Structures are given as C-alpha cells and as structure tokens.
Chain A
C-alpha cells in the first residue's frame, strides 16, 4: 500500500509516495537517491544509516518513512552548510577517522548527536557523577560512539577526531 508523504531532508521538502513498509533509510536511498546514509545491516545493528531526526540521532533503517511526519531529517551531507564541510567533516579527514568510508556518514551524524547530547547534560553508561558538567573524555566518546561499527576499525582515530570538535564546542575539558 502506498501513502503520500512529504519528507523534509537536509533543508528541502520532498513529496513522494512510499510503500507503508518503506523505511526512512530506503526512502532516502532508493526513492530520493540521497545515498549519504548507508545500509550496513538493515537491522539497527551497525549504525551506518544514522541520521539526525530533529537533531537526535536515529538508525534510519528502524524508522518507517510514514512515521517521520514533519520532522527534519539531516544526513551527513546535510551537515555541510552552504557547501562548506562541517567541522566534524574536516576533523574526520584530518585524523583519518575512516578507511573505506562506508560507515563514515553514520559516524559523523552520530558524533554530531553525541556532542549535542553532552551539551544537554545527558549521561552515558561510563559517566561517573551524572550531576557533573558534561565532559566528553576519551572513555565517554568510545562508549557513546559504540553504536556505530567500523569494520576497518578506525576507532583509534575516530576518538581524537570527535574529541577535537568536542573541545572546540566546549563539551570536553
């Protein structure tokens, strides 16, 4: 069964008809041909499809397109403003925080989510005193980025890439 929806993606509205079974990921990749988010498992297990939904990170393979409504979908490509790379984009390249690059747009979106979550004071499983000011230590970044698998295992470079941006955003001491 098809349903008419309008997806707001990276600042533009896209009216389209989708099968009610269509995930947000497949709507983006297969209907809109926005292939910034990647499919690595289609089961919410790898994080390659991570996008921001009204600023919060989600596995887009676990979101049905018909449930998105008016929420703003932001892909890694959409984090680039006016054609200029986002600070996280530059940091990931500088620290070589990827190899094949396939999980990377998801890692970047996840990192953007992590920084925002820290700014709002959300604790993680490794946070000591949850009343403290947020501080994205290496251990915090490792924990919070662990929903995004990287089979090339660039983890040791992802941590400093995120840390550098967290520092400049004031969420890492």
Chain B
C-alpha cells in the first residue's frame, strides 16, 4: 500500500458538490421509482381537539384523475403499537390542529391539490388548550428528559446560598415555538413489490424509519427498504418518522402504484414537529469577586397530549460553570399542540440563551468583564458528575476569541458607542454541546481484480449526509484508515440495506460512523497483512466491523465540545432595527475532519443562532389554536443580508478519549450560545435587556416604555 499525506483535517471539496450545484444529485422526489408516480395530498383538521362528526368524500372521489380518497373509515388498518401521530387515519379523534383527517391520491399534483378542497369534514370540537405558562396547575415532572437525561438535578442548598450571596440575579427568559424548516420539504415516495416496500425518503437516518413502517404494516424489517442518499437539510425534523412515511406507504398499497407525498410548506409547521417554547427562570448567586455560589435553572415547556417530548433545556447548566449549590428542573404542560421534536441542539439551544444571558446580567451587576466572569467560574471537573473532562478548553476559546475579535478595552457600560443613528455594542457567550457516539456497523470490501487495475475499497455504512459533509468526511476517514488515496474509496451511505448505523443527530455522525470505519479498516488491513502477505487476494476480502456504542471513557469522563462567540450588534435608534455586522467564534471541538465543510457547519450553526435571536418565532393563536405564520414569508429565517462577516476558527486539540478520531462533533455546537451573544451585545448597544426572543424592532420600543 502506498503512504500518502493525512486527509483528515484537510479542506477537501465536497465530493457530492459538482452534482449538487447543478441540481443533479437526486433527493427523495427526484429518484426514479421505475413507474409513473401518483400524488398524495392531505386534508388537515381545523380544530385542535375533538372528533370528526361528518366526513363526505363523494365529490372528491368523483373528480377525474382521483385514484382514491383515504379516510379514517376507508384507510387500511395499521398494526397496534405505533406511537404519537403515526397511527394516521386510524381514528376519528383529533389531537392537534393540522392532523391528517383524509388523503387524496391522484394522477397529478394539481388534481390532488384540488380534490382535497372537495372533501367535507365537520367536527365536534372542544376549546383548544395551547397557552404555556408557569402558573398552570397541570405542570408535571416527566420521568426523564430526551436522550435519557435526568429530569432534575439538585445539589447542595441553593436557596440558602442565594440568600447569602453578595450579588444575585433572578430573571426569566422565554424562547418561542420554532420550526426546523429545512428547504427540502419532507417527502416520501413509496413503491410496493408484493409485500416488500421501497421508500425514497427525506430523513436523517434510513434505519430510523424502517421500524415503524415494518411495525405498522406487519412486515419484517428486511421487507422495508429506505433509500436516502441526498437530503435537503433536516435540523432534527427528519430524525424520526412522521405521518408522511405512513401515509405514502398506505396510499401506494391502496392504489397499487408508486405514490409520492411531498409536504407543502405550511404542512411543515404541523406534521413534522417543532421546538417547544420555553419559560426559564435562572437565579445566580455570586460572591463579590464573581465566583458563583449558586445556580438555579428552572424550565417550563410543553409537549403534546399524544406524545411526551421532554426537551433537555437546562442540561448545559449542569456542566458549564462551577458552583457548590446547583439546581436544574424541567416541568411540562401537555397541550393540544402537534408533537414537538428535535431541533438543532435541542435543550442546549434555548437553555444556553437563558444561562448565558443571566451570566451577562451578573457580569453587569458585578462590574466585571463578562469574559473574565466566565473564566473565574471555570470548573476543574464536571461540577455535577464529579468526573474529569475528556478535554475542555473553554478558557482558551474565550481568550483566543477576545484577541481575534478585539475585545480588549471594551467599555463595560452599555449604550456608550454611537455612529449616527446606530447604537453599537458587543457581547460574548460560551457554547457547549455533549460529545457522544452511537452503535454503528460497517462493511469494507476490497476487490481482487489484481493486475494493473487500481485497488478499490467499497465502504458501506448507513450513515446520512443531510448537508453535513458526511459523504466527503467519511471518504477522507476511510482513505486515511486504509492508507489509500480518496479516489480508491467508494462510499455507500443513505440506504437501510447497508450495515446498520444511527442517524445524523446529536452531533454523533462522524464520532459513530467514522469510528466504525476506522476500526473496520484496521481489521481489514490486519487481515490482508496476516493472511495474504499484504496483497489483495484474487477473490477479494470483505470485513464487517463497527462499534457497540459509547466508548470506554464515556462513563469515567465528561465529554463536551466548547466554544465562545463574540458579536457586534448595531441597533437603529429610530427604528429598533438590529444588525449583526461581524462575529468571531472559536471552537474546542477536537479534530475537525474536513476544514472546509467543518467551517461551513460552524457557520451554519452560528447563523441559525443569529436567526433565532432576531427573527424566528411561530405564533400560536390562543383562541383558534393554530400556528398563524405558517410559511416562509411569515416565519422569518435569516437571509443573506442578515449575516455579516464571520470569523470562524477552532483550536487544535484532538480529544484522545472521545473516539477513534479525537473529534467532538460539530453539527450543533455553533448554535449554542449564539442567541445569547447577540442579546448580550444588544444590551451593550442599547442598555435594554430583552429576555424573550426574538429581538424584533417592536421590543426596542416596548423596553423604552413607548408602547
């Protein structure tokens, strides 16, 4: 084998890039099912809670080109055991507004869209219960949080320490309902061949979609194949199955043809999840030098009546700063809302907005530089688990970021800089996100064509590239591990027929799939050396391998990525318009496998945090119970003009204990803390503390007392 330079760490162009820029990489709807495609459209409930009292599909059924109308009365029965809103069209009961109550399959998308308007549905409805508040009598403590975190953590005497503290902060922060809104809408295209189902689907991990389809349709897992090589963004909404997969499969079975269900943009607000709104009370106690003596972070959030999704909002508070007395709690209200789900850094994203805003308020109360305040509270070990860090370089991130940004000499007082109409301020916040890995299997084969043909390595693993750069990064990892050039590696991902692996989520992709590839490649090389004298035998060699889950150090060490954001904000003193002209972020994320695509991950995460800080909010009508602004004209996400100069860098500290590659995961760290950095800079610019996101222009006048 030839020795080549290390590819891991290099800024390699995306291998899927040339096809993506031309638009020829096939996303779910763009695959060829081998036969004409019928189109599915759905009728959604207009009430939040109640029961269908009348459903008349006769007019729709009579429309030319309509192949079938599925209703709770006519839809095929799904097997028991499906949870949440997956038992679609199985009952007349309505649990949230937007629930699918009928579906039309037609020859064309135009006919399907027209026919749903001809389905008459009436309801016996009850008043919607959709408003979250801290004084609801029905708030409850879930058994555990998402990802297995404890619901509460209580250490020491928080109330006593707060009473005795030299300085305290007691503030309540709110984040609104938010929606993932990947630009590729969730799409499922189903084809049955006998009792075998093939689905081309937009998801974050084909294996994650197989189980519920197999269960619902009474199939073996091997009878379901999910194909998803290219996915147009996800951010969590495509992690788990939603009604769309069940419906497409059901409809295809009914009409005996390939059926595609491409959600509309408004349906993206009801059928595939959202981030819960949060109300977070944070109390901090510190001595006169700014050393924290008490941290309390109490979260109230919602879930749906038909499923429990308990976002782990206060969990970053369990690891970020030292303090002897600490408390984090989570309470939920079950509302008549669609099931919430994962959205980029669930927990950390809203939680870090609250904690890092409170730290800024504490710095201001103490008259201490907010960078210095964080450094003074750096814990020497995990402050709740009392185990060492696998690696932690937050202080270096803060110091490096301050240097790159030009933080020195910043006036601690707010509203001290103006430029014409613009009020100018700067702010800082930390970032943190857990480092984990999941079980992953992998197969590597090398062909034995021999002779002069170049040796090719086939690397198969059901990893997923939702825009993360996994196609490229995994090829780099495989090439290094095999000791070959990248073009000797043929990677196959995004297909449930491939060796099983967890989906793209929790920033675990490269930690899991990459480690599996490295170990399998080592095994292959060892076999070639031991059994074949380092030569590839004529009939080739195939090796199966992988990892079982968390590594050996996960229990004995606390593993997290860290970072620091520095942001400049300009606020128009006349209109309240907020601009973010520049920002610096420095990350402690271990090995960054691809310097080019990795930087894009950091950019994307941070920019989504700016979007959260200034724009994103799904409004719920308290009386009618629906999401009011359910499209991209009304649910604002950051545009090109909203993002300024971004200075992105990372420290060169591989985490040797985390996994085979020393990486900590980078898909989510960028968004954590970003909104707080913006809000803190906004305070520094204006002297106004907006504690409820997003910071829209109207809140400038509200805080000034003018509205």
- B601 nearest CB neighbor, chain A only: A99
Interface string of B633-671 (1 = CB under 8 A from A): 100011111110110000000000000000000000000
A89 touches B183 (CB 8 A): no
Shortest C-beta distance, A14 to chain B (Å), equals: 17
- A110 nearest CB neighbor, chain B only: B640
8 Å CB interface, B620-636 against A: 631-633
- B268 nearest CB neighbor, chain A only: A41
B597 touches A149 (CB 8 A): no
Contact of B18 among A93, A102, A142 (CB under 8 A): A93
- A35 nearest CB neighbor, chain B only: B30
B232 touches A102 (CB 8 A): yes
Cα A135 to Cα B262 in complex, Å, equals 40
A85 touches B21 (CB 8 A): yes
B21 touches A92 (CB 8 A): yes
Residues of A within 8 A of B114 (CB): 21
B14 contacts A by Cβ under 8 Å = yes
B72 contacts A by Cβ under 8 Å = no
Cα A30 to Cα B611 in complex, Å, equals 33
A101-B467, A102-B182, A153-B603 known; A43+B20 contact, CB < 8 A: no
B235 contacts A by Cβ under 8 Å = yes
Shortest C-beta distance, A106 to chain B (Å), equals: 9
Residues of A within 8 A of B604 (CB): 99, 152-154
B231 contacts A by Cβ under 8 Å = yes
B640 touches A155 (CB 8 A): yes
B305 contacts A by Cβ under 8 Å = no
A76 touches B110 (CB 8 A): no
B231 touches A100 (CB 8 A): yes
Shortest C-beta distance, B114 to chain A (Å), equals: 8
Residues of B within 8 A of A142 (CB): 640-641, 643
A19 touches B20 (CB 8 A): no
Interface string of A92-131 (1 = CB under 8 A from B): 1110101111111100100000000000000000000000
B262 touches A96 (CB 8 A): no
Q: Chain B interface residue count: which class? A: 35 or more
Cα A98 to Cα B29 in complex, Å, equals 20
Cα A80 to Cα B264 in complex, Å, equals 30
Interface string of B599-619 (1 = CB under 8 A from A): 111011001100100000000
B231 touches A39 (CB 8 A): no
A85-B21, A101-B16, A108-B21 known; A29+B640 contact, CB < 8 A: no
Residues of B within 8 A of A43 (CB): 265, 631-633
A77 contacts B by Cβ under 8 Å = yes
B230 contacts A by Cβ under 8 Å = yes
B264 touches A42 (CB 8 A): yes
A45-B633, A93-B17 known; A146+B232 contact, CB < 8 A: no
Shortest C-beta distance, B614 to chain A (Å), equals: 13
A19 touches B18 (CB 8 A): no
Cα A33 to Cα B260 in complex, Å, equals 14
Shortest C-beta distance, B269 to chain A (Å), equals: 12
Residues of A within 8 A of B555 (CB): none
Interface string of A27-65 (1 = CB under 8 A from B): 001100101111111110110100000000000000000
Number of A-B contacts (CB under 8 A): 188
B638 touches A99 (CB 8 A): no
B466 contacts A by Cβ under 8 Å = yes
B584 contacts A by Cβ under 8 Å = no
Cα A37 to Cα B32 in complex, Å, equals 17
Cα A159 to Cα B644 in complex, Å, equals 10
Cα A40 to Cα B185 in complex, Å, equals 6
Cα A38 to Cα B645 in complex, Å, equals 28
A102-B182, A151-B235 known; A38+B23 contact, CB < 8 A: yes
Contact of B599 among A89, A96, A141, A143 (CB under 8 A): A96
Shortest C-beta distance, B372 to chain A (Å), equals: 29
B469 contacts A by Cβ under 8 Å = yes
A46 touches B23 (CB 8 A): no
Residues of B within 8 A of A154 (CB): 600, 603-604
A66 contacts B by Cβ under 8 Å = no
A36 touches B23 (CB 8 A): yes
B198 contacts A by Cβ under 8 Å = no
Interface string of B192-236 (1 = CB under 8 A from A): 000000000000000000000000000000000000001111110
B22 touches A156 (CB 8 A): no
Residues of A within 8 A of B181 (CB): 151
Residues of B within 8 A of A159 (CB): 640
Residues of A within 8 A of B78 (CB): none
A151 touches B233 (CB 8 A): yes
A24 contacts B by Cβ under 8 Å = no
Cα A99 to Cα B597 in complex, Å, equals 8
Cα A40 to Cα B268 in complex, Å, equals 11
Residues of B within 8 A of A79 (CB): 22
Shortest C-beta distance, A39 to chain B (Å), equals: 7
Residues of B within 8 A of A7 (CB): none
B468 contacts A by Cβ under 8 Å = yes
- A34 nearest CB neighbor, chain B only: B23
A93 touches B14 (CB 8 A): yes
A19-B110, A92-B17, A158-B640 known; A99+B467 contact, CB < 8 A: yes
Contact of B265 among A41, A92, A143, A158 (CB under 8 A): A41
B603 touches A37 (CB 8 A): no
- A108 nearest CB neighbor, chain B only: B21
B393 contacts A by Cβ under 8 Å = no
B25 contacts A by Cβ under 8 Å = yes
Contact of A152 among B14, B467, B599 (CB under 8 A): B467
Residues of B within 8 A of A37 (CB): 23
B600 touches A96 (CB 8 A): yes
Residues of A within 8 A of B232 (CB): 38, 100-103
B640 touches A39 (CB 8 A): no
- A162 nearest CB neighbor, chain B only: B640
Residues of A within 8 A of B535 (CB): none
Shortest C-beta distance, A133 to chain B (Å), equals: 22
Contact of B22 among A19, A21, A76 (CB under 8 A): A76
Cα A80 to Cα B601 in complex, Å, equals 28
B24 contacts A by Cβ under 8 Å = yes
Residues of B within 8 A of A148 (CB): 640
- A sample of 30 cross-chain residue pairs with beta-carbon separation below 8 angstroms, ordered by A number, consists of A19-B110, A26-B110, A35-B27, A36-B24, A37-B23, A38-B184, A40-B183, A40-B632, A42-B265, A45-B631, A46-B265, A88-B21, A93-B21, A96-B14, A96-B17, A99-B468, A99-B604, A102-B232, A105-B22, A141-B640, A142-B641, A146-B641, A146-B642, A151-B182, A151-B637, A152-B467, A153-B638, A153-B643, A156-B603, A156-B646
Instruction: List the 10 closest pairs (A to B, CB-CB), nearest first.
Output: A102-B232, A100-B467, A36-B23, A101-B20, A105-B23, A153-B607, A99-B467, A93-B17, A35-B30, A45-B632
Contacts A26-B110, A41-B631, A99-B233 supplied; 7 other A-B pairs, CB < 8 Å: A35-B29, A39-B29, A39-B185, A93-B18, A146-B642, A152-B233, A152-B604
